[in-house]
Amino acid sequence: MDKAALLRCIVDELEANHELLLRAANAAHEEATHEESTAENKYDTRGLEASYLAEAQSRRATELEQTIRLFKSMKPRNFSDEDNITLGALVELSDEDDSQWFFLAARAGGTKVTLEGQTISILTPQSPLGKQLMGAQLGDPVELRLRNKTVEYEILQLF
């Protein structure tokens, strides 16, 4: 799998999310500063709530800008079958039902992209599955507890 293409897909997805977030932040800012948002009495908090929302969305947009810069600066690293899994690894995991692809990164956990017909989810080392994968090797079993049951995965491929 082409990791340079994967990084481009991730950046594209993050930039699209950033654009949506900026539009939402601008809309919340407009609402907060609109003349109709002026409080009519001490219990009317629409304008205040909109300003809190605009501020939070602006902070999130700034964080997303930093994440985009991080992914743009990443250099694709190829892993061999003997390497330990670490940041930058693309991993295929299989359970008894199917297989799934994961990319380990410092940020953007939960983001999903599609490349070469495969859905790839970004994991951070702080996530339960990310913790399990860090330091593991090809063929190792990985256990994850989901909804009161334990799912065992096997690491099938490492790129």
Lowest mean pLDDT among 3-12, 43-52, 90-99: 43-52
| Residues 9, 65 share a domain | yes
Look at residues 48, 73, 98 and tell me which one is the last residue of a structural domain. 73
Q: Are residues 69 and 115 located together in one domain of the fold? A: no
- Average per-residue pLDDT in the chain? 91
Q: How many domains does the chain have?
A: 2
pLDDT in tens, 145-158: 888 889 899 999 99
Residues 111 and 140 in one domain: yes
Instruction: Determine which of 33-42, 98-107, 138-147 has the lowest per-residue pLDDT on average.
Output: 33-42
83 occurs within a structural domain? no
Angle between helices 46-73 and 3-33 (to 10 degrees): 160
- Whichever domain contains 117, its CATH number is 3.10.50.30
Q: What is the pTM of this model?
A: 0.86
Residue 61 lies in a domain: yes
Q: For residue 49, what are the domain limits?
A: 3-73
Q: Is residue 78 part of a domain?
A: no
Measured between alpha carbons, how far is 1 from 10 in angstroms, rounded to an integer? 14
Q: How confident is the model at residue 25 (pLDDT cuts 50, 70, 90)?
A: confident
Give the residue-averaged pLDDT of 28-42. 71
Domain boundary pick from 73, 100, 133: 73
Q: Is residue 103 part of a domain?
A: yes
pLDDT at 36 > cutoff 80: no
